[in-house]
Structure 1
Amino acid sequence: MFKSKHTHCVVCKKIIQPGENTFVNLKNPKRKGITEIKAYLRLEARFYCTDCVKVSLRNK
Structure 2
Amino acid sequence: MFKINPQCSYCEKEIKGNEVVFVKMRYPERKGMTEIKAFIQYEGQLICEECFNKKSS
5+ residue gaps, structure 1, are none
Secondary structure of 1:51's match?
A: helix
Aligned equivalent of 2:51: 52
Does 1:42 find its partner at 2:41?
yes
Equivalent residue pairs, number: 56
Deviation at 1:4, TM superposition (A): 6.0
| Contact 2:15–2:48, Cα closer than 8 Å, also in 1 | yes
Structure 1 stretches of 4+ moved >3 Å: none
Q: TM-score, normalised by structure 1?
A: 0.79
Q: TM-score, normalised by structure 2?
A: 0.83
Percent identical among aligned pairs is 34
Larger radius of gyration: 1
Secondary structure of 1:15's match?
A: coil
Aligned equivalent of 1:5: 4
Aligned equivalent of 2:32: 33
5+ residue gaps, structure 2, are none
